[in-house]
């Protein structure tokens, strides 16, 4: 189970990476059900990225996989059938330890590759978490 302390650890690692990159980000950490545990909007991060970060985290937790990998056309269907709650944008990663999804992190406000790099740093903060994304 991902505790609030673990979520804060993920959040801090992601914020540290984003700061080192010079890319202010919105970072959301959710539990395995997609419920928000921790969130930050770094100074300078885009306001609309608040919702996007949370949706990336929810999507990664729900689908048990990284966001951004659906075939073209499926991303629109995903958004339509979930009324926009789920997304295929890069930057959402599940937190998997021992084959079990504990939660997820979603990052938004940079490019897709920047968001993904920050999300990877957050996941890597959990000992034993899958990091080969």
What's the Cα-to-Cα distance from 79 to each of 59, 76, 82, 100, rounded to whole Å?
10, 5, 5, 26
Beta strand residue intervals within the chain, DSSP E: 26-31, 36-41, 92-97, 100-108
Closest to 57 (Cα-Cα) out of 14, 26, 93: 93
Hey, what domains does the chain have and what are their CATH numbers? 4-124 (3.30.450.150)
What is the pLDDT averaged over residues 105-110? 98
The pTM score is 0.95
43-73 per-position pLDDT tens digit: 999 999 999 999 999 999 999 999 999 888 8
23-48 per-position pLDDT tens digit: 999 999 999 999 999 999 999 999 99
Q: Which residues pair with 29 in a beta bridge?
A: 38, 105
- Euclidean distance between CA atoms 104 and 93, whole angstroms: 6
């Amino acid at each position: 189970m991902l505790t609030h302390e673990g979520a804060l650890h993920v959040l801090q690692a992601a914020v540290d990476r984003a700061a080192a990159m010079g890319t202010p980000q919105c970072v959301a950490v959710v539990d395995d059900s997609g419920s928000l545990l921790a969130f930050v909007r770094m100074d300078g991060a885009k306001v609309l990225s608040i919702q996007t970060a949370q949706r990336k985290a929810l999507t990664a937790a729900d689908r048990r996989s990284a966001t951004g990998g659906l075939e073209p056309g499926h991303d629109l269907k995903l958004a339509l059938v979930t009324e926009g709650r789920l997304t295929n944008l890069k930057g959402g990663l599940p937190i998997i330890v021992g084959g079990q999804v504990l939660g997820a992190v979603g990052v938004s406000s940079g490019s897709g590759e920047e968001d993904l790099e920050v999300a990877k740093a957050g996941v890597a903060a959990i000992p034993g978490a899958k990091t080969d994304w």
